[in-house]
């Protein structure tokens, strides 16, 4: 029996490739190139499925040019690289990898908050340049984390995990805003209080962004929101680029209207707004919030599980558009 043809769009763990090879004829990207849209379309020709990452945009044009495509499995919890509506209309199943990266991403989000508030990367650069020659009472002072008010915009799994770290580990009052309010039990577990968006930006000492990216959340944090923040406050983004207006943020940081920012994601990444690169009071990391080895393995394995289950059992573990399964797909 002929195995389904699958494209693995980026380099992944060899063990995961070996599992997939049992079930599929694989086309891989061992050089780990980031393909243009025409290159991606060319490589999808004749493929029944694909394992993708956030760098592969599967939009209506790509779907239309790939008539044999039946399933795309994203090795990420975010899926703003998928046009889910176009995939659904075409009868193509889309999947992602939720849950397996929640705690690791929350760890990193809190680490980025700490690094931002306590000016860790700025002080390390100072030390490495050989400029440290004496102690001074105000050298690299910053705001406290312990006991400070933590504001979380987007209170899904990762937001709740960050809230628990702040409330239980650092004695932080937690406020949050979300499209829908959590149930009472979830709020109690996080020790979190629901507020409107403007109140969150006015009251929080540290704002952490963990909301999904969509057209409605594009530039959810811009000049107006930044103007509400305390001049001693920090902003951390471990969600998606495009949620923050990076140009407006750079201006607020440059003018001292907020104290500092920690960013793991950017508009147009891997490019970073040049104004951000020029600032001292911003911590920049290259989209690595989920980058523990066990978690990245779990993400790859879940993406593989979704492909294997789809072709062997007619289902998927974490579908984004399960209605495709209900009507039989392509």
Q: Which CATH superfamily is domain 102-284 in?
A: NAD(P)-binding Rossmann-like Domain (3.40.50.720)
Q: What is the pLDDT of residues 248-299, one digit of tens each?
A: 999 999 999 999 999 999 999 999 999 999 999 999 999 999 999 999 999 9
* Cβ burial, residue 27 (10 Å; 0-12/13-18/19+): middle
The tokens describing 289, both together, are 């919030």
Is residue 1 scored above 80 in pLDDT? no
Looking at residue 262, what is its pLDDT? 98
Provide the edge-to-edge strand list for the sheet that holds 49-52.
25-27, 5-8, 49-52, 71-74, 93-95
User: Please, which residues have CB within 8 angstroms of residue 129's CB and are 6 or more apart in sequence?
Assistant: none
* 73 closest CA partner among 127, 150, 16: 16
Is residue 328 scored above 90 in pLDDT? no
In this prediction, residue 69 has a pLDDT band, given cuts at 50, 70 and 90, of very high
What is the CATH T-level fold of the domain 5-100+293-326, as seen in this structure? Rossmann fold (3.40.50)
- Taking all residues of the chain, what is their mean pLDDT, rounded to a whole number? 97
In this prediction, residue 28 has a pLDDT band, given cuts at 50, 70 and 90, of very high
Q: Which residues are catalytic?
A: 240, 269, 287
- The segment(s) of the chain belonging to CATH 3.40.50.720 are 5-100+293-326, 102-284
Looking at residue 249, what is its pLDDT? 98
In this prediction, residue 201 has a pLDDT band, given cuts at 50, 70 and 90, of very high
Looking at residues 61-84, what average pLDDT do you find? Answer: 96
* 27 closest CA partner among 13, 48, 58: 48
Angle between helices 157-164 and 102-117 (to 10 degrees): 50
Supply the pTM of this predicted model. 0.93
Are 167 and 140 spatial neighbours (Cβ–Cβ below 8 Å)?
no
In this prediction, residue 327 has a pLDDT band, given cuts at 50, 70 and 90, of confident
């Amino acid at each position: 029996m002929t195995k389904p043809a699958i494209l693995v769009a980026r380099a992944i763990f060899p063990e995961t490739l070996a599992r997939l090879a049992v079930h599929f004829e694989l086309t891989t990207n061992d050089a780990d190139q980031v393909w243009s849209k025409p290159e991606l379309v060319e490589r999808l020709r004749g493929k029944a499925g694909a394992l993708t990452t956030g760098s592969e945009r599967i939009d209506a044009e790509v779907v239309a040019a790939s008539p044999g495509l039946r399933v795309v499995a994203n090795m990420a919890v975010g899926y703003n690289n998928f046009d889910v509506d176009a995939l659904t209309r075409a009868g193509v199943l889309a999947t992602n990898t939720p849950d397996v990266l929640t705690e690791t991403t929350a760890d990193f989000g809190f680490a980025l908050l700490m690094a931002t508030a306590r000016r860790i990367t700025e002080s390390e650069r100072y030390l490495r340049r050989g400029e440290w020659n004496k102690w001074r009472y105000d050298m690299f002072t910053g705001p406290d984390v312990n006991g400070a008010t933590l504001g979380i915009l987007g209170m899904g799994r990762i937001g709740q995990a960050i809230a628990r770290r702040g409330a239980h580990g650092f004695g932080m009052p937690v406020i949050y805003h979300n499209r829908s309010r959590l149930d009472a039990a979830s709020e109690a577990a996080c020790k979190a209080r629901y507020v409107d968006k403007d109140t969150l930006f006015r009251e929080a000492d540290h704002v952490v962004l963990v909301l999904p990216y969509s057209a409605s959340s594009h530039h959810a944090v811009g000049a107006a929101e930044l103007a509400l923040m305390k001049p001693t406050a920090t902003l951390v983004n471990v969600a998606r680029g495009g949620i923050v207006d990076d140009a407006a943020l750079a201006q607020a940081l440059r003018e001292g209207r907020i104290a500092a920012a920690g960013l793991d994601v950017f508009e147009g990444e891997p490019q970073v707004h040049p104004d951000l690169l020029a600032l001292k009071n911003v911590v920049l990391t290259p989209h690595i919030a989920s980058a523990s080895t066990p978690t990245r393995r779990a993400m790859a394995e879940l993406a593989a599980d979704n492909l294997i289950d789809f072709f062997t059992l007619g289902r998927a573990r974490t579908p984004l558009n399960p209605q495709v399964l209900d009507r039989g797909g392509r």
